[in-house]
Amino acid sequence: MKLYLNVPFAEKEEAKALGARWNPTIKLWFIEVKDSINPLLKKWLIRESFYNLLAEQYTIVSAKKVCWKCENEMVVSTFLLQNYYELSRYEDNILGYPFLNWQEVHNVSFVSNITALDLECLAGIVRENPEYRKTYSKTLQGSYFANNCPYCRVLQGDFNLYNEPDGVFYDYRDSAKFTIMKTLDSAFKAEGNTALTAGSPEGIMIKVIGH
């Protein structure tokens, strides 16, 4: 497997000497591990992360819907990923403690319930939809990045967009519901939810319980 590492700039030559290579898009060092982890890599293992999703490129899509409160037609937007990395927890008997690693996922999915988002990714979607911002949800008792109505300023909750069968972002395969705005060849970084198969019962469960 590929083991991703948090290597400080001052220690990059040491990491390279141990076989580590650099991924310039997601800006992480990694090394191929076949059997056991070299104890010399211990200090660079990922113990915590601000994000749980990474991708080397991402697509911004938009769709039209009617605001649930004022009933005006409005535009909602989201991120669509094709092949990405999810943060997973690993155990290693030799090291004696758990660590985190980025696992590559060959899947297509919208991203929902985003609680942390890279500033460049946020700027990209705001250019397409100025009403996309971090908003407080009384239902969830917390804030997340979401669509808001430009007329009455009310939150358009992710559950209705992604989890209801008639939601515009329920299934990425239903392309008649949305328009691809742009695909960006730059890193996507966020704390959010994906679906293993968009629109399937398995995907819905993952969306509901999160990571």
Contact criterion met (CB below 8 Å) for 62 and 128: yes
Using CA atoms, how far apart are residues 77 and 135, in angstroms rounded to an integer?
Answer: 14
Contact criterion met (CB below 8 Å) for 133 and 121: no
- Rg, the chain, Cα only: 19
**pLDDT at residue 39, as a whole number:** 83
pTM: predicted TM-score of the whole model, two decimal places: 0.84
pLDDT digits (tens, 9 = 90+) for 71-88: 999 999 999 999 899 999
Q: What is the DSSP letter of 45?
A: B
> Which residues have CB under 8 Å from 105's CB, separation 6+?
83, 84, 85, 86, 194
Identify the three-state secondary structure at position 163.
helix
Using CA atoms, how far apart are residues 58 and 134, in angstroms rounded to an integer?
Answer: 19
Q: How far apart are the first and last CA of the chain?
A: 21
Token pair, residue 5, equals: 């590492």
Give the phi and the psi of residue 160 in degrees, each rounded to 5: -70, -30
Token pair, residue 60, equals: 């911004």
**Other Cβ atoms closer than 10 A to 35:** 4
In the chain, which residues have pLDDT < 50? 197-211
Instruction: List residues bridging with 148 in a β-sheet.
Output: 155
